[in-house]
Amino acid sequence: MARRPLPRILSTGGAQLARSRELARTAVDNAADVLHPLIVVTRGLRRLAGAARRTWSKTPKDRRGPLLFLVASVLLVVVTVPYGPLLAAVALMAVAAWQGRDRTPRQPEGPDASRVQRLASLYEALVPYFSAAEDPEPLYSHGGAWEKAFPAHEFDDSGRIRHLVVRYPAYFTDGEPESRTRIERLLAAKAGRGREYLFTWDEESNQLTVTALAPLPTGIAAQRFVTAPGETVLGFTDPGEVQRTLPLTCGEERRDVPPVVWRTGPRSTEPHLLALGQPGSGTSTLLRSVALQALQHGDVVIADGGSTGEYACLVGRDGVLAVECGLSGVLASLEWAATETERRLIAVGRARQAGQPPPKDTRRPLWLLLDRPATFTHLAAAEGRTNPQDLLQVPLRHGRAVGVTVVVAEQLDNAEALSDAVRRHTHARVVLGAATAQQIEAVLGAPPHTTPPAAVPAGRGYARLGTKAVHRLQVPATPDPYDDTVSDAWRQAVLDLLPPRTTPADGQTVPEGAAAGTGASLVKPS
């Protein structure tokens, strides 16, 4: 069948529409050029009228009469003088044109001498990596022009590079991690140390974009986050990294901050968390933040291997089943947790076989928080007792189906003391504090997308949930409220989030400071 031609209005309508738009745009540009003097004079008259109005409003009432008389006298003289009105109109237009001029300061074209020198030195440093003797028209050569290699660049107020686009030849091995690492280290050193840089490689266009990242906010204290049940805020990251923001209070300011949200529950792909860091990096702060969020909808068991009283504020609180600092208490708590996990599995299985919903006592989340479990492993080996980490196998393997979540925090130096079950089943990973790129990659399973800084504040690091992207992370400030060395506002924020004290069986209320110095609380029976 022969194909019928399109109607003329459809085949030529797009071209006519584009031509009409071009004619209209040209007419507007020409009209703006022709009417530019009139626009300037009108703007000047408006400014003069505004100045006259402000002068009249500032003049006291007893002086307005003489002012009007003076203006009338000047107008009378202008009218009586030959060619007075014409000269006055010309003078008014000249003053209006002068007042209506564009007062925006002109930006200097191109970078100044110091910035040109910085770009030239950076170009020369890249020559050995982006040049080849066989290249007939090299993009990088000693003494060459950096303008072609750096098509876009921006500087901050201190004169350091903030944004840079680097072109490189097609024969550069940008698919090899070693080659990329060498270039990233060089650019980070030449662009300015002490900052974090984001490197975006575009292999198709042979371009590398370097962006200096702003530091993450460190003044966000612990607070109630707008999250659904089963969602835990680990910290905050860069804008654009996640498709969500949370309304937060930072001092007296309200703003939206992008969070790193960890989801737990039966449908979670990363139901357990492992946090590693150097001493003082903020792993205990992360566990306190997780505990305060978990207590909103579940129960918590805490094993403190540091024995420094970091979790004394949680002793005796509603929902806190145990806070153990000794080996015997930890073993008893973890044995109960393994038995509780098995009990829940059996109850849920029977309910499903009977076609009924799971029992209510199996749907309340149970959190097992272990801080530095390698300490208990060492003590158990010295006393010939069971390794506490072996008791985590059942909660780690089967806890997701019955609402049991395990969170382990350990120091990087003791990471080898973690059991295979902990390493295998903790798919959500966090690295806090100063760490090399190799250490971060070994923990997270992927290299960081930014250059790790040499000095980092407490709670600063990287997070990766399962096989997703690596995010920069800043944990909210959640200090020990009994520590007098931290800010009073941050300590009060933690105290406001703590649940009330547990009421004993005799009906008496436990005093607020009664459990502050205790080391453990008994495990609630199942």
Bind-site residues for ATP: 277-284
Which tokens belong to 297?
A: 């909808």
Which residues participate in the annotated binding site?
Answer: 277-284
* Chain centroid, CA 189 distance in Å: 24
Cβ–Cβ under 8 Å, residues 338 and 376: no
Cβ–Cβ under 8 Å, residues 285 and 474: no
Q: Where are the beta strands (DSSP E) in 288-403?
A: 299-304, 320-324, 366-371
Which residue's entry shows tokens 């599995």?
345
Please state, in angstroms and as integers, the Cα–Cα distance from residue 135 to each residue in 121, 244, 333, following that order: 22, 47, 69
Q: 93: number of CA atoms within 13 Å, CB side?
A: 8
- Look at phi and psi of residue 459 and say left if phi exceeds 0, alpha if psi is from -120 to 50, else beta: left
3-state secondary structure of 460: strand
3-state secondary structure of 462: strand
The single-letter code of the amino acid at 66 is: P
Which tokens belong to 514?
A: 């009664």
Which tokens belong to 289?
A: 């933040």
Select from 271, 296, 276 the least CA-distant residue to 286.
276
Cβ–Cβ under 8 Å, residues 296 and 497: no
Q: Which residues of 83-122 are buried (b: 16+ CB within 10 A; e: fewer)?
A: eeeeeeeeeeeeebeebbeeeeeeeeeeeeeeeeebbeeb
Select from 419, 372, 412, 413 the least CA-distant residue to 395.
419
CA distance 458 to 433: 7
Rg (CA), the chain: 35
> Between β-strands 404-411 and 366-371, what pairing exists: parallel, antiparallel or unpaired?
parallel
Contacts of 52 (CB under 8 A, 6+ apart): none
Q: 148: number of CA atoms within 13 Å, CB side?
A: 10
Q: Which residues of 247-272 are buried (b: 16+ CB within 10 A; e: fewer)?
A: ebeeeeeeeebbbbbbbbeeebebbb
Q: Which residues pair with 303 in a beta bridge?
A: 324, 370
Cβ–Cβ under 8 Å, residues 477 and 459: yes
Count of helix runs (H) and strand runs (E) in the chain: 13, 16
